[in-house]
Amino acid sequence: MRKPLAAGNWKMHKTLAEARALVSALRAGLEARPGISGRVDVAIFPPATLLFPIAKAVDGSPIVFGAQNAHFEAQGAFTGEVSVPMVKETGAATVLVGHSERRHVFGESADILTRKVAAVLGAGLTCVYCVGETLDEREAGRTERVVGDQLDAALGGGMDLVRVVIAYEPVWAIGTGRTATPQTAQQAHAFIRARLSEMYGQSAAAATRILYGGSVKPGNAAELMAGPDVDGVLVGGACLVADDFLAIIDAVAAG
Ligand code: PGA
């Protein structure tokens, strides 16, 4: 009942010409797979400068697009920031919030992320809310505490879960080539679903997609998808190459 989702986070990659080439290869690949859009949703998260041209490039295809970040205020003196209404105006359907690079490289606090989730949902967009523990936290046995707190902080205020997707991305697995085992991923996903169930009830939790992210590649996507609570993937590095992302999309559609 949960349609799987393959999402690609481009991070700070791709010029306009490169972005157009990647989208056109993805479109061609999807067109060559009849019925694929009935089995999997596909989303891409390009840099903010590319959102308007990407809207045009994906038009008429099953690919949806979103922003990697957005400020919680609609406008104001926030040099360097882009707001949710600005993102929405591009035609973007979704925004990533709480990616580990925003938390750990840019120091975004739980409070900031809570406000961002509220701003994204308040604007009627879908929010892909990322959670995950660091290596130190995992080794200290604090994974569930940390992830639970991240869920409570952003979603404790009675959100509309229908437009929320959770991405579980253990920080130690992002960009490191060190993927969580399928068992580790499933365990964390089951915990997240149980927590959502406590917060929002069993049927809302059962309907919410929980993606795994962290060094997802064509070679490991299928085994990760085997977990019953793994509803798709959030891909970084491997989504920058059309054939790799298409192979991952195939694995997600089959899972
Ligand atoms: P990665 O990134 O696939 O390159 O590990 C995942 C992410 O940061 O979303």
| Ligand 1 neighbour 170 (Cβ under 6 A) | no
Paired strand residues for 232: 5
Q: What is the reported pLDDT for 25?
A: 98
User: Cβ(101)–Cβ(134) under 8 Å?
Assistant: no
Residue 93 banded pLDDT, cuts 50, 70, 90: very high
- Segment 53-77 shows an average pLDDT of 98
Residue 157 banded pLDDT, cuts 50, 70, 90: confident
What amino acid positions are annotated as catalytic residues? Answer: 99, 169
What is the Å distance from ligand 1's center to 64 Cα? 19
Residue 175 banded pLDDT, cuts 50, 70, 90: confident
Q: What is the per-residue pLDDT across 199-217, written as a single tens digit (0 to 9) for each?
A: 999 999 999 999 999 999 9
Paired strand residues for 210: 166
Residue 219 banded pLDDT, cuts 50, 70, 90: very high
Domain span including residue 84: 5-254
Residue 177 banded pLDDT, cuts 50, 70, 90: confident
Nearest protein Cα to ligand 1, atom 2: 236
Q: What is the rounded average pLDDT for all residues in the chain?
A: 97
pLDDT greater than 90 at residue 1: no
pLDDT greater than 90 at residue 8: yes
Nearest protein Cα to ligand 1, atom 9: 236
User: Cβ(69)–Cβ(96) under 8 Å?
Assistant: yes
User: CATH number for the domain including 225?
Assistant: 3.20.20.70
Question: Nearest Cα to 220, choosing from 205, 242, 240, 238?
Answer: 238
Give the chain's domain count.
1
